Structure formats: C-alpha cells, structure tokens
Structure 1
Amino acid sequence: MTVQRTQALAPCFHCGLPVPPGTDYTTIIDGEAKSMCCPGCQAVAQTIVDGGLDGFYRHRDTASTSGDTRLAAESHLADELALYDSASIQAEFVRHISPEQAEATLVIEGITCAACVWLLEHHLGQQPGVEQFSVNMSNHRARLVWDPSQTRLSTLFGEVLRIGYKAHPFHPNREEQLLEQENKRAIRRLGVAGVGMMQVMMMAIALYAGALQDMEARFVEFIRWSSLVLATPVVLYSARPFFLTALRDLRTRHLSMDVPVSIAIGGAYLASVWATVMNTGEVYFDSVTMFTFFLLIGRYIEMQARHRTGKAGNALMDLLPASATLLQDGLEKMVPASELKPGDLVLVRPGHTLPADGIIVEGSSAVDESALTGEYLPISKTTDDPVVGGTINVEHPLKVRITEVGANTRLSAIVGLLDRAHAEKPMTARVADRVARYFVLAVLITSATVATVWSFISPEDAFWITLSVLVVTCPCALGLATPTALTAATGTLRQQGLLITRGHVLEGLASATHVIFDKTGTLTEGNLSIQQMQPARELGSLNPYSIAAALEQASEHPIARAFQPFFKLPASSTRVQVNAGVEGEVEGIQYRIGKPAYAAELYQGSTPAQPDRQRQWLLLADHQGPLAWFALDDQTRKDAAFTLSALKRLGLEVGMLTGDDSSAAKRVADELGIDTIKQGVSPDQKLAYINQLQASGASVVMVGDGINDIPVLAGARTSIAMGSATDLAKTSADAVLISSELERLALALLVARKTRTVIRENLAWALMYNLVALPLAAMGFIAPYMAAVGMSASSLIVVGNAMRLSRLPRLRRKSSE
C-alpha cells in the first residue's frame, strides 16, 4: 500500500515532524514509499536503507503508527534525553575545553561493522555545532567535540537514536557487559565450527580413501549424508556472520574479503547438498568446515585484542575511590566521590586514595604517585602543593581542596590520550583494506567471466567449472599465509616468555628502527636495595645494618623495604619525620637515619659530605657523631647490557624515556650505553616524543611497565610491557614479557624477521598457485574435487612452511659479554 503524501499534517516517517504542504520527498522502505519532510531526512533514511540498517524502522514505534502517539512518545523521549543537559550529570563525562568547546566520551550500542561507524560519523558530523565526532571501531567508544552554545547534548543523543543506535555516557560496567555478550557468541560459533570440522574431516579422509579402493556406493552415500548433517550447523550458525557482512557489503557497494568467502562457503555447501541429494558429483563439506573454522579463529583473536583495549581504560578509571571524607563546618561526612564539586574540602587519611585533583590546604605527607608517574619513590607534599586523583597518601593525614572532578581530572586526561592513541588506524591496515578490495573484485570478475563464457560453450558444465574457479581461487592459502606464520611464531615466543596479544606485533618488530625503554621497572629492577655500606667511624661490635633496620621498621616508606632483610632488633620511641628520616632508641641508645642534615641534628655537629652524588645516601648517626653511610639505588637488570648491545648489533637505535629527573637516570644510561635519553617527562610528553619519531618515518617499539606508560604504549606502533608491570600496562601493550628477561626482546626481533620472510614465501606460493591453477580451472581441466584437493594441498604447504618458525634462532654474543 502506498502512503498518501498529500496530507499537509502527515508526519515525516523518519523524524515524526509534520510534512510541509506541496513537498514530495520519499524513500522506499520495506517496499513502500515513505513520506519525508525534507531532503535531509530523505538522505539519512536512504543511507540507513542502503546500509542494511532499516530494521531500525521496523522496530520503532511498533505499538502505534498514529502521528499523535508518535509525537507524544518522542516528547517523552526528549524529556529523558534532556537530563543529559544537566551540569551535574555532565560533570561525570564532559570536559569543558573552553566556553565554546566541550568534549565528551560516549559508548555507542549497536555497532556491528565499519559501515555503522561511517554512518554515525557522517550523520553526527553534519549537525550544527559539532566540531568532531569520531567512533573507535575497536572499543565502540565515540569522542564528541561540540559547541554547547549552538547545540544541546540531548539533541545530539537524539540524533544518534534517530539513525538506529544508542549513545550512553562512557561507563566501564555498561561497556564490559556488551563485550562479554560478544565474547560468548564468538566462543559458541567457534566451538560449533571446531567440532564440525573435526568430524567432517575424518569422514572426508574415509571418502578419499574409498575413492582409491572402490568403496561400495551405500557407504559413500552414508558418509555424504553424515557430512551434510555435520556441516549444516557450521554453515548456518558459525558462518552466519560472513553471510550477513557480505550482504551488507553488497548493499553499501563496499567489497571485503567476506564477499568471496561467503560465495565460496555458500556455493560449495549448496553444490555439496545438491550432489548429496541427487547422488551425483563431488562434495566439499571438508573444505567448507575447515575454511570456516580457520577464519573464525583469526577473528576471535582479533576480537580478544579489541576487548583488552576496551577494558584497559575501564580499569584505569577504577583507580578512583568510591567514597570520600567531606569536611563541612568542622564535621566529617562520608559522601560518594562522584558527588564532589570544585571547592569542596576533603580529608585524606594515610593509606587512602585521593578522590579527585586538588591542592593541599593543611598537612604534610608523602604521596605515592607511581600510578601516574611510574616512579616507585613517594613524593613529599606540603601545603599549597597540587595532588592528583588516583594517587595514594602514604604517611600523614591531608586536608585537600578539590579543584577538578570528573572528566577534567588528570586521570581522565590519560584515559583520553589512551582512547585517541587507539583510534588512530595504522597505515598497514589501510593499505591491506585497499589491496583486499581489489583482490576480491578480481576474483568476482573472473568467476563471472568464466560463468558467462561456459554458459555459451557448454551450459551443462558452466556451474561446475565456475565452482571450480571459486574454490581454486578461494583465498584459503592467502588467508592462511599470514595467520599460520604468526601463530607459529607467537607460540614459539610464548614458550620463551613473550606473550603476544595483538596480531601486528611481529610485523612491527620486524620493521622496527627504534626501541625506546622506560627506566624504572624496565631497565632496572624497580626496587630500592642497599648497594653499599660505608663506615663513618670505627664501629667495633656495632652492626649498622641491624640498627638501621630496627629504626626503619617504624616507616612505611619504600626505603624501609630495602632494610627488611636485616630486621632483627626492636626499636622504641620511634618517630618518623616527613621527608627527612626516622629517629628512635635501639638497646637504649638513640639513633637517627635519613638525610645527612637531619641525622646531624642529633649530635649537633656539621653536616658531613656524602661519599658521592650518583646515588641516594642515608646517614646513620648517634649522639657521638656519624656512624655509617648507606647507598640506596635501583639496580639495572642483569641482562640489560647484553640486550641493548644485541639490539644495536641488529641495527636498531636504542633510547630511554623516564619520568625520573634525578642523576640516577643519566647513570643508568651511561652504564648501559644509551645515547638518547629524555628524563623528567610526563605521560603526554612521552606520547608526543613517540609521535614525533614515528612522524619522521621511524618504526618504534616501546617497552614500559607503569600506568604512566599506558598512553605511549598505546601510541607506539609496537609496545611491550614487562611481566612485573601493572595490569593496566599489560592490557594496553601489544605484548607482555612474562619472564621479565630483556634478552627475550632481542630474540623476538630475530623471530619477527624470520616470520616476515616466511610470510613472504607463503604469499608468493599462494600467488603462484592461483596463477597456475586459475587458468586450468577456467579452461575446465580441473574438476571441483581436484580444486578442493589443490586448495587443501596449497594450505598444507603454507602451514608446513610456517612450522619452521618453531626452531629458535640464536643470539650472537661477544666474547666480552
């Protein structure tokens, strides 16, 4: 039935507004012409239909098609969306860059493919006041930058809803629920494909063996029907995403590998069903199930990497506490941290986490900022010093005046850096998309040409010859050429203690030109230890280690952990002086340990000069004078020097980025022979430096271990986290050095280069096979079963070549190492 377009007050099918008299804008939806109020609604509706997203209209307002009811429903929805215009709600996820510019992080529900991303970005980007709207396909988050004076946020949320999606303020719990659902679906599909493939392959072996030994017809028929029963769930359930994506690609005129994959799987399956039912011709159920299973394996690995990316930022936001102690009129009140406002006064007790950014108004303490800076030593803070949300107060209570909350905090800024780094699509991925499109187009054109030619030459053979062409050109060997080599190399490196979590790591390592290291916890052990004890006077029977350890038992400072192995004697009357040291009595004698000036106050003498300035020295003293010096330092890893030397021999440039601005950074660089060093740099400065290197043509491998390294780990082409790194750093990195042995990094570079060679050999073989087999199949010299055998043989050759990567290369050592 055709919708009447002459009624002046008829509602627009897309937006629900009245259609102006005399207009004639329509879009064919579900076979009917639907009235639109303007060219804009007509264009958006046509885009939705072309993208295969017209299900949005079928599920919208199904209870009633009345114009009044629809307008009432939209009015109610507008009231709900208007809540997002509230300043208190926006404080959680909106950051105001300037009075004319605001930024929000959203999570979009309903995205299934790249076409969805294009539709969202295209539609929202055209809205008034929107300066930027970019959707990250990897984690379905969107970054919105708009002018609040021109457009309300509720209006933009409504525009997202109009084209069939739902936008929510980014919240870790909602996103993780969506990821969990996707993961369960993928595992079910993979399980069905795996079980089906194993059973069908066993029957195919019997069928091939029977063809050579004249198996009885009744057994052949039984095996064929059994294979049909087992392969059907694989095709209809496990391979369903390939068919859906192929249909969407055809509608949007955007070719991808799913188009020939779907044609090959669907064509081979239908031909096999026909051959089974009619008891004639060949069956290809083994090829269908095997191809489906291998493709699903690759996509599952890709999905897992995407999920880890999304969860990294979620865990980062979990550093903030759920509650805070608010001070009002001299009284303490526990409130949710999310309700804090700039100007509030909060009390942060020792061991508690700061709920937001602020300034200390009363108190002095040491604050553990390792979550943001990666440095293990707490920083001394006193009145008027700024503090950052997510850091930990170590020693004494602090009263803090809140300055920034929600999306404006430093922690949220790091999350923003992480999201922007992940949103950047690598050049290799864009090139691969273009190459795949041309390859798919060539396969389809070739198959269509063969079908047309043979329909004139021999119509009864046209289908089987065309199927042979599709099977023989099925991108099975091409599809396996890279994944099999990567899988073999990944397994080999996993046994050696390097866990690869993203598919591009080996490619990035093979082409790497620079390796940049963090210092603390990466090139060094990450823990303070006593490097040297130097007596300041005759000690006699005194044991300075035991005395110092007894005093340090009263402190929670990381320095105290360096003396933990020597805890034997008790101490009394201990008193910790912030940013100075510890005082107490051991066996009736009063001692001090800490900074030289602090220790000298005990014997009221001049402050002695420390032995050198390359390390941190503590002075132990009593009433008689200095007793002993202790040198504390973070020692370099045992294999660091050899690893850096091996990397240089492989032709790579080595550098160091660290937040440590002390002399220890320069000492470590000199000890390990590192020429390029950037010290005292913040997370965003690290990312800027890496981006500058990569913009100049460098291929960078970043190795780090702290939360402060998350943005740069995400921004580098290839990133590796140490096994001792924080969980957040591990989830953001492309690989994890589980063994924490740096020597494995140099080994990984050799394996990566060998993998690149094997991939090139595999691709060359697959290309040569297609160039030889395609003309033969097109001329009718290769039967479908021969094409299936040839495709399987080609795949086996590719897999066998990849297995060479199970043999480890050897690292050359100099005689001096």
Structure 2
Amino acid sequence: MNSRLDHPQDHVSCFHCGQDVPEGTHFSVVVKGQNQPMCCPGCQAVTETIIQSGLEHYYKHRQGEAGLIPEMTGAELPSAVKDELQLYNNPNIQKEFVISLEEDVKEASLVIEGITCAACVWLLEHHLVKQPGVTQASVNLTNHRARIRWRANEIALSDIMSAIYKIGYQGHPYNPDKEEQLFEQERKQAVRRLGIAGVGMMQVMMMAVALYAGTLQGIEDKFETFIRWTSLIIATPVVLYSAKPFFVAALRDIRTRHLSMDVPVSIAIGLAYLASVWATITQSGEVYFDSVTMFTFFLLIGRYLEMQARHRTGRAGNSLLNLLPASAIKIVEGHEALVPATELKPGDIVLVKPGHTIPADGVIKTGASSIDESALTGEYLPVSRTIGDQVVGGTINAENPIQLEVTEVGAQTRLSAIVRLLDRAHEEKPQVAKVADKVASYFVAAVLVTATIVSLVWWQIEPSHAFWVTLSVLVVTCPCALSLATPTALTAATGTLRQNGLLITRGHVLDSLATATHVVFDKTGTLTEGNLSLKSTVTLGNIDTQFALETAAALESHSEHPIAKAFHRYGIKAADSLQAELGQGLEGEVEGKRYRIGKPEYAAALCHRQMTISDAPDQHGQWLLLCDQHEPIAWFCLNDQLRKDTERTLQELKKLGLKIQMLTGDSSAAVHEIAEQLSIDTVIANVSPKEKLAHVQALQKEGARVIMVGDGINDIPVLAGAQTSIAMGGATDLAKTNADAVLIGSELSRLTDAILLSKKTQYIIRQNLGWSIMYNLLALPLASAGFIAPYMAAIGMSASSLVVVGNALRLTKLVRRNRVK
C-alpha cells in the first residue's frame, strides 16, 4: 500500500529564532518573568547573554516572527575561531581595513553577517558599546556594514569580533577595492555635471521662451538685457563645468588627428556661447544659451549611461577572486597552523574541514569528500573527489575533512584563469556600432567643411554677416537630433523593459537582440528553477508517510548537501552514529533503529536486498531509497522543476525564427529528458566554462548572432563572449555584472518581449535618423544662403530634437503578446 505526502503538524516556536521546537526538547529561558521555550542550547545561550547584558529590550525591537539564528554561541568560542580572530590583531592585516584616528584610537569597517531586521542593528550597537574600550559602534541596516571605534590600549580587535560572534553574528573586514573608489569618484563627478546641466537647461529654456515671445510681440530693452544677462550667468557653469569633458575630448582628438563628434559639438557649444556672451555685452545680435545648455544636458545623459556599463564590467574580475578565503589551515610537522591564504605556496599541505572553502588549487592526499563546485560550474550537486583528484580554489568542501597538496597559487589558479578568459572575451566581444555613429562619422566632416566654405564665401560677399551665417550653419546642422536619434529610442525601450522585468545594462542590447539568430540556454537555474525539491513520497507496505519523512530528515539533518536540504523542513527527530558513504548516501540510528538513505543499491544492502534504480516507481526525476535492517521503507523523488513559462517561451522564440540550443555543465540523464520535453534539438552537456565560450565563439565565426542566457559563475566567460548575454534574476552577482541584461523576475517570457520591442526600436531609430538627416539637408542650404537667422536655427534644432524624442516615446509600451497563465 502506497501513501503520499501529508503536511506536518504545527509545533511550538522558539522564542529567540522562531524555528519549531523539536518534540522532547526542554530548553527555556526566563524573559521578563515568563518562561520562554528554546529550540536548542545555542538559542538558550544567546538569550541568556542578551538578558545578562541588560539588553532584553532587543525583543521589543525585533520585527517579524524570526529573529536571530545564531551560528556560533556560548561563552567560549571554538579554538579554531579564536585562532582566526587573533589574526586580525596583526598590524599587517589591519592596515587593509583599520585606520588610526589619534593615539591609541582606531576605527574599523566590518561587514556583519546574520542581520535580518532593525532589532539586529539595535542589539549589535548596544552590545558593542558595552564592551570596555569601545567608544562608538554604528551599524547600517541597508548594507550590513559596521563602523567601530575603540581604544587599542584597552581592548583588542579580536575581542570586539569575539563579542559579535557571541551574540550569534559574524564580522568580516571590509576592504574596498581601490579601483572601486576611483569608480565612485568618477560617478559622483558625472552626477554633479549632469545635475548642473539639467538645472541650467530648465532655467535658461524659461528665459528663452520670454525672449522668443518678445521678439514677436515686442519687449522693452531693459527686460531683454536683464534676461540675457541672467541666461549668461546660468549658462556659464554649464559650459565651463558640465561641458568640460567635450572640450577636453575635442582637444585630445585634434592632437591625435582623430575626428569625432566631440569636435563639432565643442565648436558649436563654444562658438554659440562666445557669440552669445558677445551679443549680451554689446547688446547686439542673438543669444543661444538655451541651445548650449540643452545640447550639453542630453549628451551628458548618454555619457553617464556608458560610464555605468564600463564600471560594471571593471568590477567583475575583482569580485571573482574574492571567492578565495582569507586564511587556511596548514599542516606543519604534523601540527595545524592557521596562516593567511596568501602565504601558501606549491607543495604545502593544508587541511580543509567540512563547510570550509578550499584556499588554493591542489591534489587530495588524504581523505575523500563531496566538493561543492557550484561557484565555478553553476551545478547545484556536489561532485565526489578522493585521493589523487584535483580540487579548485574557491570551491567548498561539503562532507568530510581532507588534506591536499597545493599545486597552484596566485595568478596560476583556475579562478585567475577564468578572470583572464573574462578579460579576453571582453576584448574579442563584437562592437555593434549604433547606426547614428556610422552616419555621424561622415556627417561631422561634412558639417565642418561646409561651415568653413560658407564662412569664406560670406566673408567675400558681406563680412559683417559672415560670422552670424556661419554660426547659423553650425547651430542648424549641429548633430543634436542625429545624436539623440539612437539614445532616446534606446532609453525609452530600456525603461519600458525595466518596468516589465528585464534590466538592460549595456546600450548595444536592443540592437543585437533585433538581429539575433540563435538563443543558447544554460539548464540549471535558467530553464529550470535550480533548486532540488521533494516531488513525491511513495511508501512501501503499511509505512506512514510522515514517519518516512521524519526518519529521512533525521538522517539528513546534519548535512548541507542540496539533496539533504530538500528534507530539512521535516526535521523533528535526531539521528545518532551517522556515517556518510561518499556519493552513495547516509546511515545512522533513529530512535534506536538503524536506517540507510541514498542510492537504491547502497540503501538496500542494509536489509540484504538487491535493488536498483529500475525498481523505482518510475524513471523520471531522481529517486532515493530509505531502508531499515529488515525491509525497504519508502522511495523519495527529487526533481528540479522547469520554470512555468519555459516551454511557451521557447515555442515563441522558434516562431520568431530563432534557433534554440542548450549548453550545460550537467551530465545527468535529466539533461536529455528536459531537452526532449522542450523539443530542443541541439544539446551540449558536461562542458566546462572554457568549452562553453569556445562553442559560442564557433557559432559566431559561422555568422550566428548569439543570445546567451545563464545564471552561474561558470557562465561568466560565455556571457562576456556572446553578442548579447542575459542573466536570470536568481543568478550570482558576478553573472549579473557581466551580463548585458538581467531578467529581474526570472520570467523567460520577458526575453520574447525584449526581442519584439528591439525590432520595433530599430524601426523607430531608422525613422529618427531619416528625419534628422532630412531636416539637416533642408536646413543647411537655407542657412548657408542666409535665409535662417541664428535664433531661427536654434528653434529649428530644438524642434527637430523634440520630434525625435516624441517619436521615441512610442516605445514606452510593449508589443502585445499573450501572457503565460
């Protein structure tokens, strides 16, 4: 008789952490005269520490049901933790994150792990300032950073960090990258320039409206003079500060004999400003302060977006190398010694305990374990590694302690190799030039040549009109509309997609999406949700489903393996004498009886049966068997579910003429099952990050325009190498920073939206370019002939820009498409 999964009954919640209190547990603490239940000795110790420190008001400030879930508690810390914290007293280590304010007074920046709400901040600040020698402690709830000031002659930094550990949090040094500081400085300067230009533009445009109206209806000279001088005062900081990058770039381009749009832009801004200043001082001619400020503001917006994309790319490599731990346990003459990981060298023997990060590339010399390589491969299941196998720095030891001999350190490690792959992919990435840039490259030279010729001709005809006519030519043909044709359309489309769940981080995306021929998907976390879950439970005989789940959860309770996490929610029993068989399963005692869970062959051997995966209820998903010493008890089916809109999205992409491929590091049977279910013909499994990049580059050499969709660090090189790369919303931060776009809501259907809107965007861009070119071709002869006054040229240039912007606003709505329900 088979039975299916039932919901577990409700239990009493721990007063401190909010988790269920296991049956038979009798831990408690008196809080404000009431005996409050605790789930474990850890919560009991933390609560007692809070009460004894006079911080019981913490529980008043706590928000939500769950408070602090301590990782390390009690009056005494483990010796390994003490040894690691002692390292932070080393002046050579402190120089990276500690500053000396005055004699014996220091200040440190720490990142605090475990903060969940405002109550955590309150507790940390009040607890730290109670420590002798600590003069100030502030914790930022937004970024979880703490700034602590103390007197070094009264308390050591290790003691401060120990105090943080004792109340259930973990503190780590915060060491901002020097390049990041430069990025921040550049960003702030760009924001200041943009802000000044924006405010100046709005004020000067209001003044310009009054002048234009006065020209038509009459205006007193004193008011006209006042408005001109006011416009001059407002426009001057815009030209001298906001527009400074254009003049600097123009001078650089002239020195290097390279003609760019900065040259006519600088000439137009400079001449229009100087002419307006002259007209204001002499009270003759026209002023063009409105054109100067508006043109500067719109161009600065485009430059700011480009800078943001550049900064995002620059941060990626440093973040990847931060996967390596700060310290390592080195074996010296048979004894353990905690040393900085940077001091390791090839040939050293290091001990890596369960849950610790491997500090360098090496070969296992003693022991066997499962290694979580998800940071590099993107696959959630750890892989078995034993004596003689290679392991990679930055991966995590999941099960048993191992000793390894270091083979590569520093720039020779695999992490560094991936960083180099990333840099190379960025260098080789196709530069999809905007249509406006291609047209403008020829237009710039034509404008300068035409303006020069017009100036010479008018100097011969009427020298007094030569300057004003030349200025009219430069203003009326100033490539403002041409420059705005592409950025305004891209900005409108980008904003629309952002509001609908797709964040575009690089300007070329909409252009390359519209011309794409192939879409290549990673599997885990992209086509699927990326989390193993318990799909079904099939019991054997008269076994109760809840009993089977609780027994399995007891065996898996001390494991952080992805398979074990699927059972953690059912854990109310405890297991003893646990033994893990690498790559096979677990064995232990629950309530005096021995059980095994894992692969069918391994589990069935306990009851002297011969069972294989073919005996499972069906051949779909990943089946585990639970047995006692007498008989099999239950089958558990684990599965990684497809995203709800995956199948529909792939069908829509095929209708748009795109070819679909799957490129994954997974080698299990689930790959081909998913491919068959989704009708994907081209599937490449069990590939490394380097092989992924090579495959995409091969496609591109054959003329394909590739969209790569992924979510793991293993996808970083290929995300950087594809024409267009898209990261899922649940992707690693590194994958997101290297992707050209991010699916914020992790809905694949947004990809179809983006492709449809990108095609419409290209159509709008062509319209904008056509209009701006037509306007310039019509206005240029009239201005050259002297029929267009400078003020008319300014109005015409502004009008052409408004037409371009208005047309781009058509992209603020998505192309209609039926949603997946």
Report what 2:269 is aligned to. 265
Report what 1:658 is aligned to. 664
Q: Is the 8 A contact 1:747 1:809 kept in 2?
A: yes
Q: Deviations over 1:375-430 (max 9, x none)?
A: 00111111111100110111221101011111111111100010011112534339
Change (3 A) 1:432 1:424: farther
Change (3 A) 1:428 1:248: same
1:754 and 2:763 equivalent? no
1:742 and 2:748 equivalent? yes
For 1:433 and 1:650, locate their aligned partners in 2 and report how far apart those are by CA, in whole Å.
28
Residue identity matched to 1:240 = K
Q: Is the 8 A contact 1:580 1:595 kept in 2?
A: yes
Q: Is the 8 A contact 2:327 2:339 kept in 1?
A: yes
1:579 and 2:587 equivalent? no
Q: Is the 8 A contact 1:518 1:703 kept in 2?
A: yes
What percent of counterpart residues are identical? 67
Q: Is the 8 A contact 2:328 2:340 kept in 1?
A: yes
Match of 1:408 among 403, 407, 412: 412
Report what 2:738 is aligned to. 732
Residue identity matched to 2:501 = G
For 2:581 and 2:667, locate their aligned partners in 1 and report how far apart those are by CA, in whole Å.
24
Residue identity matched to 1:626 = P
Q: Is the 8 A contact 1:485 1:803 kept in 2?
A: yes
Counterpart of 1:803 in 2: which secondary structure?
helix
1:200 and 2:204 equivalent? yes
Give 1:745 shift. 0.7
Residue identity matched to 2:561 = H
Q: Is the 8 A contact 1:275 1:282 kept in 2?
A: yes
Q: Is the 8 A contact 1:643 1:742 kept in 2?
A: yes
Change (3 A) 1:674 1:425: closer
For 2:373 and 2:752, locate their aligned partners in 1 and report how far apart those are by CA, in whole Å.
31
After the TM superposition, which residues 358-437 of structure 1 pair with which residues of structure 2 at under 5 Å, given as runs? 358-424=362-428, 426-429=430-433, 435-437=439-441
Report what 1:219 is aligned to. 223
Report what 1:284 is aligned to. 288
For 1:302 and 1:465, locate their aligned partners in 2 and report how far apart those are by CA, in whole Å.
35
For 2:638 and 2:721, locate their aligned partners in 1 and report how far apart those are by CA, in whole Å.
34
Report what 1:680 is aligned to. 686
Report what 2:535 is aligned to. 531
Match of 1:610 among 602, 609, 615: 615
After the TM superposition, which residues 74-473 of structure 1 pair with which residues of structure 2 at under 5 Å, given as runs? 173-424=177-428, 426-429=430-433, 435-473=439-477
Give 1:303 shift. 0.7
Give 1:433 shift. 6.0
For 1:397 and 1:613, locate their aligned partners in 2 and report how far apart those are by CA, in whole Å.
34
Give 1:279 shift. 1.1
Residue identity matched to 2:733 = D
Match of 1:783 among 772, 777, 789: 789
Give 1:542 shift. 6.2
For 1:390 and 1:541, locate their aligned partners in 2 and report how far apart those are by CA, in whole Å.
40
For 2:339 and 2:555, locate their aligned partners in 1 and report how far apart those are by CA, in whole Å.
38
Q: Is the 8 A contact 1:610 1:617 kept in 2?
A: no
Q: Deviations over 1:577-619 (max 9, x none)?
A: 3322222333443322111122112212223443245432100
Counterpart of 1:324 in 2: which secondary structure?
strand
Q: Deviations over 1:213-232 (max 9, x none)?
A: 32222111111111100100
Q: Is the 8 A contact 1:646 1:812 kept in 2?
A: no
TM-score normalized by the length of structure 1? 0.77
Q: Deviations over 1:756-803 (max 9, x none)?
A: 100000000001001111111111111111110000000000000000
In structure 1, stretches of 5+ residues that fail to align are: 1-170
Match of 1:803 among 805, 809, 816: 809
For 1:357 and 1:588, locate their aligned partners in 2 and report how far apart those are by CA, in whole Å.
42
**Which deviates more from structure 2 when the two are superposed, residues 218-227 or residues 536-545?**
536-545
For 1:230 and 1:610, locate their aligned partners in 2 and report how far apart those are by CA, in whole Å.
82
Residue identity matched to 2:509 = V
Q: Is the 8 A contact 1:514 1:700 kept in 2?
A: yes
For 2:336 and 2:543, locate their aligned partners in 1 and report how far apart those are by CA, in whole Å.
51
Q: Deviations over 1:225-270 (max 9, x none)?
A: 1110010011011111111111121122110010000001001101
For 2:544 and 2:817, locate their aligned partners in 1 and report how far apart those are by CA, in whole Å.
51
For 2:738 and 2:571, locate their aligned partners in 1 and report how far apart those are by CA, in whole Å.
38
1:559 and 2:553 equivalent? no
Residue identity matched to 1:178 = L
For 1:480 and 1:626, locate their aligned partners in 2 and report how far apart those are by CA, in whole Å.
71
Q: Is the 8 A contact 1:224 1:276 kept in 2?
A: yes
**Which deviates more from structure 2 when the two are superposed, residues 792-801 or residues 615-624?**
615-624
Q: Is the 8 A contact 1:228 1:273 kept in 2?
A: yes
Q: Is the 8 A contact 1:172 1:314 kept in 2?
A: no
Give 1:565 shift. 3.3
Counterpart of 1:355 in 2: which secondary structure?
coil
Give 1:537 shift. 3.0
1:647 and 2:653 equivalent? yes
Q: Is the 8 A contact 1:600 1:621 kept in 2?
A: yes
**Which deviates more from structure 2 when the two are superposed, residues 203-212 or residues 219-228?**
203-212
**Which deviates more from structure 2 when the two are superposed, residues 761-770 or residues 567-576?**
567-576
Change (3 A) 1:507 1:494: same
Q: Is the 8 A contact 1:555 1:582 kept in 2?
A: no
For 1:541 and 1:300, locate their aligned partners in 2 and report how far apart those are by CA, in whole Å.
59
Match of 1:767 among 769, 773, 778: 773
Q: Would you say how many aligned residue pairs link Structure 1 and Structure 2?
A: 645
Counterpart of 1:428 in 2: which secondary structure?
coil
Give 1:621 shift. 0.9
Match of 1:633 among 628, 635, 639: 639
Q: Is the 8 A contact 2:476 2:797 kept in 1?
A: yes
Counterpart of 1:532 in 2: which secondary structure?
strand
Residue identity matched to 1:271 = A
1:713 and 2:719 equivalent? yes
Give 1:432 shift. 7.0
For 2:781 and 2:557, locate their aligned partners in 1 and report how far apart those are by CA, in whole Å.
81
For 2:459 and 2:814, locate their aligned partners in 1 and report how far apart those are by CA, in whole Å.
53
Q: Is the 8 A contact 1:193 1:292 kept in 2?
A: yes
CA RMSD in angstroms, aligned pairs only:
1.8
Q: Is the 8 A contact 2:476 2:796 kept in 1?
A: yes
Counterpart of 1:543 in 2: which secondary structure?
helix
Residue identity matched to 2:628 = D
Q: Is the 8 A contact 1:646 1:811 kept in 2?
A: no
Counterpart of 2:267 in 1: which secondary structure?
helix
Q: Is the 8 A contact 2:522 2:710 kept in 1?
A: yes
Change (3 A) 1:646 1:194: same
Q: Is the 8 A contact 1:614 1:663 kept in 2?
A: no
Report what 2:549 is aligned to. 545
Report what 2:728 is aligned to. 722
Change (3 A) 1:578 1:214: same
TM-score normalized by the length of structure 2? 0.76
